[in-house]
Structure 1
Amino acid sequence: MKNISILHDSHKLRFRSPFGAVPCGEVVTLSLELSLKESVDRVILRLWKDHREEQVDMVLSEELGEKRIYSGYISTPPKAGLLWYFFIIICGEETYYYGNNYENLGGIGRIYNHEPPSYQITVFKKEATTPNWFKESIMYQIFVDRFCNGYDEGEILNPKKHCVIYPRWDDTPVYGKCPQTGKTVCHDFFGGNLLGVMKKLPYLKELGINVIYLNPIFEASTSHKYDTGDYKKIDPMFGNNELFKELCHRANDMGISIILDGVFSHTGSDSIYFNREGKYPSLGAYQSKESPYYSWYRFEEYPDKYDCWWGIDTLPNVNEMEPSYQDFIISGENSVIKYWIRQGAKGWRLDVVDELPQEFVKKIYRILKELDPDSVLIGEVWEDASNKIAYGHIRDYLLGDELDSVMNYPFRSILLDFLLGKKDGQQTHLALMRLYENYPAQYFYSTMNIIGTHDVERALTLLSGAPPEHTLSKEEQSGYRLAPEQWELGMARMKLLSLFQMTFPGVPCIYYGDEAGMHGYRDPLNRGTYPWGNEEQEILSWYKKMISIRNKYAVLKTGKWLPVLAEGSVYGYIRLIENGLDVFQQKRPNNLAIILLNTNTEQEISLNIDIKKYRQSNMLDLITGQAHSIVDGILDITLKPLEGKIYIDGGK
């Protein structure tokens, strides 16, 4: 590009105001800075709005020497959705385009000689909100069979005919093969149950947990229970409906809410509704076209050829738009959604939410809020949820009428890449800024910020430098044990990772046992049993400290997030409450917290950070408990390898 410089930075208010996602009916100012000697004939703001193209002529708003600032003004549409834009600059016979960068990260874009990738503006409903109590919580995910057996003698409740019981609680889980079909089967059980969860409520309370998310607990053939057999019955190996009700009651008395896992895109083939195995006395869809459940399923060749989840014939897909199915799951007087909320659950996590029709999810959201406005609906989303495309349509997850929260897998990936040295501080910052820019604040602060789940490798395994999973056979993965130096490295990184998780906006979620040093590759090795009595005390104590800090300081929950440092192996940000109000205009004490992390495994880093704009008083190091002097508004510190710091102004 000859003698021309063009700049638009969507992260800065001088180029885009207001920042980030905006409500319907808001005026947005978009500006472009040009530095060139030749004359400019026309500067166009090209929009994609309401599924059609618009072109807005930008006006010269300021001249600074050779720099010219052009501005365009748009009103966001009355209907929530996504708005896209880029710029066209016409100079005589030359036409330049300016759009988003190659990675679609937002911020500083680049010049193209063709139509560029667009910048995104998320437009949400003005009344969009998420429960404040949830934004201030810390979650704990439990895979019930592997968490705790509530019977002291290890009694196994109501074992199934086909199941295999591990002889020892600390055995390594392994899947078997069906001798007839050769397919993997998940009929292995350790004996964890809801009584065990109830007995461990004091532990979770002491840990500082406010929300428990339970993997599926309804009757099903497998240990994972994503093959629902009866939506209205607790699996007999876990307990019964009355025990669940008591669990919710006791948890509520301790200030802990229960979130259930809703698997509504498919059922089990071994279920009341399909009944392929003939176990249930009811007339299932597989047995007869006269079954009341026949219309729930899609048969290609009745009865043995039917639509199923990812081709797994034990998981027949349902037609979610079938009225009788919607009535059963959502809207009926005694629907599944209503029944379990009335038993004491505080919300639902929707499995594979992208495979559920949008209308179906919105109906769940609406009914749930009618029943309990403070209840929570969470979706399993693995990508940026603001622009997630499922089956050819962009989903409305974060616009105000579909979900309260999503599983923040991008957050997990960003943090792991940073800790493992795959991305530096600046790349980490830009990846986080993409989410911050695309997510409305109500959702950015309510995302389920995960480090581990039942579907991914244990974080400790990844952080310890264990061989990549694809380089080992399943048998090798099962037998792999971390060497002492790997433990040391993994633990140091886990401390840093959990510090990041507990000080970042969103709802931290701990996968059971991560706080106790559990490790393992993916399913089934990430689903081992909690090591009661054999926890790694060093990491457990650290988690308790980080959680207590998070719970104590409101600034770490709903304070502003202001990145201050992003270079090399260092990343730092401020959390701030000023003028007695947090991000959501709730009354909170004024506070400033500064979080700094060094992911370098060998190098010590010295930093001088100017914070006079925010505070000049001394800070308290929350990890050591020591006061730290601030001289002339400068925070002068040294970070050791793999060290993180949390400073608070005066410790208030």
Structure 2
Amino acid sequence: MNDHWILHDSHQAFFRKPFGAVPCRQRISIRISLQGKKEEILQIILRLWDHQEGERKIPMVLCHTAHDQKSYETEISAPAAPGLLWYYFIITTREGIYFYGNNQNQTGGVGQIYLHEPPSYQITVYKEGATIPHWFASAVMYQIFPDRFYNGCENGEILNPKTNAYIYPDWNAPPAYIRDEKTGRIRQYDFFGGNLQGILKKLPYLKSLGIDVIYLNPVFESPSNHRYDTANYKKIDPMLGDNEFFRLLCAKAREQGISIILDGVFSHTGSDSIYFNKEGNYPELGAYQSKDSPYYPWYRFIQYPDVYECWWGIDTLPNVHEMEPSYQNFIIHQKDSVINYWMGMGVKGWRLDVADELPGAFIKALRKRIKENDPDALLIGEVWEDASRKTSYGELREYLLGEELDSVMNYPFRNILLDFMLGRKDSFETHGALMSLYENYPLHHFYAAMNLIGSHDVPRILTLLGEAPDEILLTKEEREHYKLSTEQKKKAVARLKMLSLLQMTFPGVPCIYYGDEAGVEGYNDPLNRRTYPWGQEDQELLEWYRKIISFRHRYDALTTGEWISLPLHQDVYGYLRRIANHQDVLGQKKENSSILVLINRNLHHSVSLSFDASAWGHQPWKDLLADDKETLVVDGLLHIALKPLEGKIMVQQP
């Protein structure tokens, strides 16, 4: 229905207070307004639902009358246990019954009138006192795929090459899976020889870039180059180094102010592993070899030994039974558990591979053990959707309620901004999608989300921003050798500058996928896992990253300041970041400042804006990207012109 005589806007304090996610037992004021409708209102009901109390219907009372507008309100208490609370409105009149609920995009804010049961508004209810390590909200992350980053051995020597491994003679060659022509199975893994020595040698580079956290793709022993098929959870892959060198790397990184986070692959192991030992390459008795193996209870066999549950049907990745006590003891509980062992080596946290494949109880136990080792350590989950309401295998998952994850990989952030940059959604739709995350995530989680624009599981960002042809239209050879044209590359780099400007100034923790800052291109796996182009970096792009990361480190407002979304024009999106009264959103004392970030995504046209900035103060605004050029506030208005694909980051200090 397009009739707007009913209004509820969950983003405005008048209609719902407090905004967004709330702790357990929080009192919440909810209002709805009716305007211009002459028919008699008989009753307005707030329909609530949660897992604890089920359905409740609460009558709303008239609280405010002005002209032809009437507002009704009620006050409720959030449930005593964490979970999701849902609501919509039922309006009964002389003429009939109307429903008012969330809009069809389910992004919160202004809703919609329906003649049937509508989609509900969401309130996330989290554990009282829940928080995340405050240091993380101010960090910048860097993701490394170890085989492809840097070989630190003298003369390019390859450490302990695996039997049947293919070693590329050229560091800059395109990676390619070597498959059996008949079955399509990988018959030989390819390696470039990146190792832990290489990461150690490049710590000064990462420090100069402004990196605080390194997230390493798997480093444990494995037959593959990606190492998601773990063979030994307590051994560094020999092609990368050894356990003592890893301890040294953690210590040297810590001296540079850099923390290291490991990839935890706990939903499955490799079939060629100590634990399963399908290939018979290990002296231990594996689950595949005998039911008497101590590892046999870890796996789910359907028809022993050749038919078993495996990850996405890939038989080299047998699934484990995470709730099996012996498995949990090995990974989490015993004194020399995997978690305890590596955190004793200096690891600052873990990124959980395929978090939605892990039972909630397993994640909670894992987090508890991590925090017992180090209260400031992190647990990050791989979640591709809105993590507050993620459903997998028919179950609503609990990730952000206070006893689970500290952070999640923010793929929604990436998708929203890509849609904007590529013209698929305008600024107002972008605002709505980002506000949905802001509303649904507990504030401390919103400010700790791992904000990525590239990873090992998606095409390289430059390839997407340069509008390369869809890879399904190209042959394997064409994909391997595809390079953006000069014009495409120019456009892609200009877009990446705008996208990374948003990434480095948005609430949450920006994560750079190795090589994105240097101009690496590539389609999906394996081409998104090309080597870092040492000596052939895009220096313009690299210096841009250094500059915007330095801004993030210089101004507290860009890390833990208030965030006010500003969709000012269909092609211009931005926001205000602000610290007022010397306190940031996490309750820490910080220096007051206001920073305005704006980008024009239009490829061809400039945009001139004039908008009311009086509420933010009357001092001049300095453009950090234009030698601190000042723009004055005139009669409360700020006048800004943005060229095509131009961004501004403007600071105002009292």
Normalising by the smaller structure, the TM-score range is over 0.9
Which residue does 1:256 correspond to in 2? 258
State the AA in 1 paired with 2:494.
A
Counterpart in the other structure of 2:16: 16
Contact residue 298 and residue 307 of structure 1 kept, 8 A:
yes
Q: Would you say how many aligned residue pairs link Structure 1 and Structure 2?
A: 651
Supply the distance in 2 between the matched residues of 1:153 and 1:352 (Cα, whole angstroms).
38
CA apart distance, 1:4: 7.0
Query: Deviations for 1:420-460, whole angstroms, at most 9, x for unmatched residues?
Result: 01110000000000000000110000000000000000010
CA distance in structure 2 between the partners assigned to 1:89 and 1:633 by the alignment: 41
Distance 2:192 2:523 in 1: 19
1:2–1:175: structure 2 CA closer, same or farther, 3 Å change rule?
A: closer
Match runs of 1:22-421 below 5 Å: 22-35=22-35, 36-51=37-52, 52-178=54-180, 181-185=183-187, 187-421=189-423
User: Once the 2 structures are TM-superposed, how far is the Cα of residue 2 of structure 1 from its aligned partner?
Assistant: 11
Residues 419 and 599, structure 1, Cα contact 8 Å, conserved in 2? yes
Partner of 2:644: 641
Q: Deviations over 1:4-30 (max 9, x none)?
A: 710111111111110000110111111
SS at match of 2:611: strand
Q: Is the CA contact (8 Å cut-off) linking 1:449 and 1:506 kept in structure 2?
A: yes
Secondary structure of the structure 2 residue equivalent to 1:209: coil
Unaligned runs of 5+ in 2: none
Deviates more, 1:605-614 or 1:164-173: 605-614
The one-letter code sitting in structure 2 at the alignment partner of 1:70 is Y
Please, which moves more after superposition, 176-185 or 217-226? 176-185
Deviations 1:468-495 (A, max 9, x none): 2232233221121111000100000000
> Can you list the C-alpha shifts for 1:216-246, whole angstroms capped at 9, x where unaligned?
0000000000000000000000000000000
Partner Cα separation in structure 2 for residue 331 and residue 546 of structure 1: 42
Matched, 1:614 2:604: no
Contact preservation (8 Å) 1:3, 1:37: no
Cα distance per residue 1:376-417 (max 9 Å; x no partner): 000000000000012222111111100000000000001111
Q: Distance in 2 between matches of 1:37 and 1:108?
A: 22
Q: Is the 8 A contact 2:3 2:113 kept in 1?
A: no
Superposed CA offset, 1:612-639 (max 9, x none): 1112111211112233131233221210
What secondary structure is seen at the aligned counterpart in 1 of 2:154?
coil
For residues 81 and 99 of structure 2, the distance between their equivalents in structure 1, rounded to whole angstroms, comes to 28
Q: Determine if contact 1:31/1:69 at 8 Å carries over to the other structure.
A: yes
For 2:111 and 2:381, the matched residues in 1 are separated by: 31
Q: Hey, what's the Cα distance between the residues in 1 that align with 2:187 and 2:325?
A: 33
Q: 2:487 aligns with which of 482, 485, 488?
A: 485
Structure 1 residue ranges (4+ consecutive) displaced by more than 3 angstroms after TM superposition:
1-4, 178-182
Out of 512, 515, 524, the residue aligned to residue 513 of structure 1 is 515
Aligned partners of 1:270 and 1:314 also within 8 Å: yes
**Pairing of 1:462-481 with structure 2 (within 5 A):** 462-481=464-483
1-side partners of 2:160 and 2:379: how far apart? 32
| One-letter amino acid of the counterpart of residue 332, structure 1 | Q
- Classify the secondary structure of the residue corresponding to 1:613: helix
Aligned mates of 2:629, 2:606 — CA distance in 1: 21
The one-letter code matched in structure 1 to 2:137 is K
User: 2 CA distance for matches of 1:441 and 1:531?
Assistant: 38
Cα distance in 1 for partners of 2:414, 2:155 equals 38
Aligned mates of 1:26, 1:484 — CA distance in 2: 56
Which range is displaced more, 555-564 or 464-473? 464-473
Q: Say which SS state the counterpart of residue 288 (structure 1) adopts.
A: coil
Instruction: Tell me which amino acid in the other structure corresponds to 1:646.
Output: I
Q: Work out whether residues 460 and 517 of structure 1, in 8 Å CA contact, stay in contact via their aligned partners in 2.
A: yes
**Secondary structure at 2:156 match in 1:** coil
Q: Which amino acid aligns with 1:565?
A: P
Distance 1:516 1:633 in 2: 41
Which deviations, in whole Å up to 9, do the C-alpha atoms of 1:318-376 show, x marking residues without a partner? 00000000000011101001110010000000000000000000000011111100000
State how far apart, in whole Å, the 2-side matches of 1:607 and 1:147 are: 43
CA distance in structure 2 between the aligned counterparts of 1:245 and 1:632, rounded to whole angstroms: 60
TM-score (norm 2): 0.98
Deviates more, 1:45-54 or 1:457-466: 45-54
Give 1:567 deviation, angstroms.
2.5
Distance in 2 separating the partners of 1:50 and 1:361: 21
Q: CA offset at residue 566 of structure 1? A: 3.6
Structure 2 letter corresponding to 1:127: G
Q: Which amino acid aligns with 2:41?
A: V
Structure 1 residue identity aligned to 2:541:
I
Query: Residue 174 of structure 2: SS of its match in structure 1?
Result: coil
1:537-592 Cα deviation digits (max 9, x unpaired): 01001000011111111110000001233431101210000000000110100000
Deviations 1:22-67 (A, max 9, x none): 1101111111111211111110000012351100000011111221
1:97 partner amino acid: F
Amino acid at match of 2:317: L
In structure 1, C-alpha distance between the alignment counterparts of 2:372 and 2:182, rounded to whole Å: 48
Q: Which amino acid aligns with 1:30?
A: I
Secondary structure of the equivalent of 1:41? strand
- Name the SS of the counterpart of 1:337 in structure 2: helix
Amino acid at match of 1:48: W
Task: After TM superposition, give the deviation of residue 204 of structure 1 in Å.
Answer: 0.1
Q: In 2, are the aligned partners of 1:186 and 1:223 still within 8 Å (CA)?
A: no
Tell me the equivalent position of 1:596: 598
C-alpha separation between the residues in 2 aligned to 1:531 and 1:186? Answer: 24
Distance 2:60 2:641 in 1: 48
Equivalent-residue separation in structure 1 for 2:444 and 2:340 (angstroms): 25
Question: Could you give the per-residue CA deviations for residues 48-96 of structure 1, whole angstroms, max 9, x where no partner exists?
Answer: 1235110000001111122110112110011000000000000125000
For 2:46, the aligned partner's letter is L
**Partners in 2 of 1:648 and 1:569 — Cα distance?**
22
Matches within 5 A, 1:386-465: 386-465=388-467
What secondary structure does 1:153 align onto?
Answer: helix
Identity %: 59
Question: 1 CA distance for matches of 2:182 and 2:110?
Answer: 58
Alignment partners' CA distance in 2, 1:618 and 1:412: 32
The separation in 1 between residues aligned to 2:636 and 2:244, in whole angstroms, is 59
Please say which of residues 633-642 and 355-364 is displaced more in the overlay. Answer: 633-642
Q: Using the alignment, how far apart are the partners of 1:421 and 1:474 within structure 2?
A: 28
Measure, in 2, the Cα distance between the counterparts of 1:322 and 1:154: 44
**What root-mean-square deviation, in Å, do the aligned CA atoms of Structure 1 and Structure 2 show?**
1.2
Q: Which SS does the other structure have where 1:182 is aligned?
A: coil
Unaligned runs of 5+ in 1: none
Output the amino acid matched with 2:649: I
Give the letter for the 1:155 counterpart: E
* 1:397 counterpart SS class: coil
TM-score computed with the length of structure 1 as normaliser: 0.98
Q: Distance in 2 between matches of 1:486 and 1:3?
A: 45
